[in-house]
């Protein structure tokens, strides 16, 4: 149990900027007229459509199935007709379009018959995982990793602790805070289901000390369930406390191995909203068709938290919150530290959409001119991943991607702390994202080249084998011909001898 808290290295104290959106309860948005469901809104393979244009669908109906080992199913978030399966703008840093299932709502919002797994306490872990998989649940903290895989544990390492992450540390985002305040029972019920699926001994629910209402609600829920395996732990609010590795270190003092997973040290970490989604899928038989999104920033008229259907376009979400106000300089999905700019509000809400931030020019002043690095080390002091951002930056600039990897580029969680403290205004995170993309691209090219080489070698081997076989065939044919010829010669010899004998016989008579 978390007897003593530890402190992760680096990090920053940031203003919360959450008051506006937490001033009112969660608002439930009715289904919009059109739903846009990207086939890839999770980590892993895109889901495979199970419906065709023209087909009528009901809320909760699986419209695309998980494909491959790591993937997640997608469900219709209202009833209506599939009008197209085609490319549509999706919320992604690239600003590109991707395949989506587009549904025109019929306004009836009819749902499939839910099939709860109400006796889950008597079901085995596999059945619970299957339910979570079929409900299309992914990590709702923003990572969107298929949750059923993270509920599978590790045969080589017995699982000790489940951590529920309620440390919503990024400024402006408050969807988890509001969920914990208003639906704490769902979170704790989800934790109990997850404990069963994981065969874990206990669960720590971590909440930052700037969320007293959430902590109070969770405490009341814990008293109601009276499950001694679950404990609420209040952690200091320090960015990025909600980072998985940072939270694990704070709670246990243990570090996740550099190239390993929390599972390697007997820990699994899930977001509180994921736990609530697991509760709904198991206890009520409801697949994931909606999520809470924080809609905030100076550019939105009524900042609040909205439970919106997955697939609702951002423009409609903003309209539901009173529309735009003033000059909106940037529309961001996520928070100001780790979010990314949306090219248009035509992109839909996806499972990973925790926040929509409409920032004014005042809130997002244009970046000042970038100056040379003065080697002050402030970035390294702020880095929660114990990296040397200035070294990463220099080697990225020099395009020395080998060296960048030696400096553990892939341990960078892109938290933006180094960016924020850099006196030279260097956009460090953009450089690190660029370096990662380059390395992934090169690795992909190398993998493609290796595959091509393997294919070429296999083809060569096949051609050589075929040539050998042909040669052998030709040789056998020649041999047969020879034999045949020699057989014919013998026959001719016998015929000639018979002819000679006949002749002699005729001469004598
Ligand atoms: S904070 Fe900026 S100026 Fe200072 S060492 Fe890091 S990159 Fe250089
Ligand atoms: S963005 Fe990366 S390098 Fe910069 S502080 Fe965060 S983890 Fe460290």
Residue 325 lies in a domain: no
Ligand 1 close to Cβ of residue 194 (< 6 A): no
Residue 365 lies in a domain: no
pLDDT confidence of residue 148: 95
Q: What CATH number should be reported for the domain holding residue 380?
A: 1.10.1060
> Where is the domain boundary, 256, 288, 320?
288
The whole-angstrom distance between residue 370's C-alpha and the CA centroid of its chain comes to 33
pLDDT confidence of residue 3: 59
Residue 84 lies in a domain: no
Same domain, 262 and 383: no
Residue 290 forms beta bridges with which residues?
309
Residue 147 lies in a domain: yes
Same domain, 419 and 272: no
Q: Which of 387, 426, 428, 430 to mutate to test the pocket of ligand 2 (most atoms within 8 A of CB)?
A: 387
Ligand 1 close to Cβ of residue 432 (< 6 A): no
Residue 80, helix vs strand vs coil: strand
Structural domain including 277 reads 1-17+122-288
DSSP 352-375: T--EEEEEETTTSPPPPPP-----
What predicted TM-score, i.e. pTM, was given to this entire model?
0.86
Residues contacting residue 70 through CB under 8 Å, at least 6 positions apart = 43, 44, 45, 145, 146, 149
Ligand approaching nearest to the C-alpha of 378: 1
Pocket of ligand 2 (CB under 6 A): 382-385, 387, 389, 412-418, 428-429, 432
Residue 184 lies in a domain: yes
Q: Give, in order, the Cα–Cα distances in Å from 213 to each of 188, 203, 338, 505.
A: 16, 20, 25, 131
The region, left, alpha or beta by phi > 0 then psi within -120 to 50, assigned to residue 330 is beta
Residue 105, helix vs strand vs coil: strand
Ligand 1 close to Cβ of residue 372 (< 6 A): no
Same domain, 10 and 145: yes
Ligand 1 close to Cβ of residue 379 (< 6 A): yes
Q: Which of 381, 422, 425 to mutate to test the pocket of ligand 1 (most atoms within 8 A of CB)?
A: 422
Q: Return per-residue pLDDT of the chain as tens, 509 residues.
A: 455 899 999 999 999 999 999 999 999 999 999 999 999 999 999 999 999 999 999 999 999 999 988 999 999 999 999 999 999 999 998 888 999 999 999 999 999 999 999 899 999 999 999 999 999 999 999 889 999 999 987 666 778 999 999 999 999 999 999 999 999 999 999 999 999 999 999 999 999 999 999 999 999 999 999 999 999 999 999 999 999 999 999 999 999 998 899 999 999 999 999 999 999 999 999 999 999 999 999 999 999 999 999 999 999 999 999 999 988 999 999 999 999 999 999 999 999 999 999 999 888 877 789 999 999 999 999 999 999 999 999 999 999 999 999 999 999 999 999 999 999 999 999 999 999 999 999 888 888 888 888 888 888 888 888 889 888 888 888 888 888 877 777 777 888 888 888 888 887 76
Same domain, 134 and 4: yes
> Where is the domain boundary, 268, 288, 308?
288
Which phi and psi (to 5°) does residue 414 adopt?
55, 40
> Where is the domain boundary, 288, 312, 331?
288
Residue 247 lies in a domain: yes
Ligand approaching nearest to the C-alpha of 387: 2
Closest C-alpha residue for ligand 1 atom 1? 422
Same domain, 8 and 133: yes
Residues contacting residue 88 through CB under 8 Å, at least 6 positions apart = 36, 38, 97, 98, 100, 102, 346, 348
Residue 502 lies in a domain: yes
Ligand approaching nearest to the C-alpha of 421: 1
How many domains does the chain divide into? Answer: 2
pLDDT confidence of residue 191: 98
Same domain, 139 and 242: yes
Q: What CATH number should be reported for the domain holding residue 228?
A: 3.40.50.11540
The rounded Å distance from CA 180 to ligand 2 centre is 29
The region, left, alpha or beta by phi > 0 then psi within -120 to 50, assigned to residue 36 is beta
Residue pair 164/271 in contact by the 8 Å Cβ criterion: yes
Nearest-angstrom CA–CA distance, 378 and 389: 9
Which phi and psi (to 5°) does residue 305 adopt?
-105, 130
CA neighbor of 184 nearest in space, from 219, 211, 210: 219
Closest C-alpha residue for ligand 1 atom 7? 390
Residue 345 lies in a domain: no
């Amino acid at each position: 149990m978390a007897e003593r808290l530890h402190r992760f290295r680096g990090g920053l104290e940031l203003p919360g900027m959450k008051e506006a959106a937490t001033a009112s309860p969660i608002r439930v948005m009715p289904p919009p007229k059109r739903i846009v469901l990207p086939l890839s809104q999770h980590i892993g393979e895109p889901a495979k459509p199970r419906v065709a244009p023209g087909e009528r669908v009901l809320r909760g109906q699986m419209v695309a199935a998980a494909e491959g080992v790591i993937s997640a199913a997608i469900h219709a978030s209202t009833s209506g007709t599939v009008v197209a399966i085609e490319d549509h703008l999706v919320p992604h840093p690239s600003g590109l379009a991707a395949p989506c299932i587009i549904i025109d709502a019929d306004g009836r919002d009819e749902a499939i018959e839910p099939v709860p797994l109400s006796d889950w306490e008597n079901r085995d872990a596999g059945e619970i995982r299957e339910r979570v998989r079929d409900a299309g649940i992914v990590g709702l903290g923003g990572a969107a990793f298929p949750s059923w895989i993270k509920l599978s544990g590790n045969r080589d390492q017995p699982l000790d602790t489940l951590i529920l992450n309620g440390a919503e540390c990024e400024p402006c985002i408050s969807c988890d805070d509001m969920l914990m305040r208003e639906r704490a029972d769902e979170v704790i019920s989800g934790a109990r289901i997850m404990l069963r699926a994981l065969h874990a001994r206990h669960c720590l629910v971590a909440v930052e000390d700037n969320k007293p209402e959430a902590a109070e609600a969770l405490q009341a829920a814990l008293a109601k369930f009276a499950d001694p395996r679950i404990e609420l732990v209040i952690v200091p609010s320090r960015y990025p406390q909600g980072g998985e590795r940072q939270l694990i270190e704070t709670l246990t003092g243990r570090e996740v191995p550099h190239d390993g997973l929390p599972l390697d040290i007997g820990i699994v970490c899930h977001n509180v909203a994921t736990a609530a989604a697991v509760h709904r899928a198991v206890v009520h038989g409801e697949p994931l068709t909606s999520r809470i999104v924080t809609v905030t920033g100076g550019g939105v008229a009524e900042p609040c938290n909205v439970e919106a259907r997955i697939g609702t376009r951002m423009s409609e979400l903003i309209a539901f919150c009173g529309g735009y106000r003033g000059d909106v300089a940037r529309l961001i999905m996520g928070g100001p530290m780790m979010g990314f700019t949306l090219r248009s509000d035509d992109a839909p809400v996806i499972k990973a959409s925790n926040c929509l931030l409409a920032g004014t020019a005042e809130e997002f002043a244009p970046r000042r001119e970038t100056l040379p690095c003065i080697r002050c080390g402030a970035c390294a002091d702020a880095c929660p991943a114990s990296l040397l951002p200035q070294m990463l930056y220099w080697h990225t600039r020099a395009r020395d991607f080998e060296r960048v990897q030696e400096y553990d580029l892939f341990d960078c969680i892109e938290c933006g702390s180094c960016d924020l403290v850099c006196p030279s205004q260097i956009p460090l995170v953009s450089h690190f994202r660029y370096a990662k993309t380059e390395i992934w691209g090169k690795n992909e090219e190398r993998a493609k080249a290796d595959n091509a080489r393997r294919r070429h070698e296999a083809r060569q081997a096949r051609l050589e084998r075929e040539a050998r076989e042909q040669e052998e065939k030709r040789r056998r044919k020649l041999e047969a011909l020879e034999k045949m010829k020699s057989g014919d010669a013998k026959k001719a010899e016998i015929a000639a001898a018979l002819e000679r004998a006949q002749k002699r016989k005729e001469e004598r008579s």
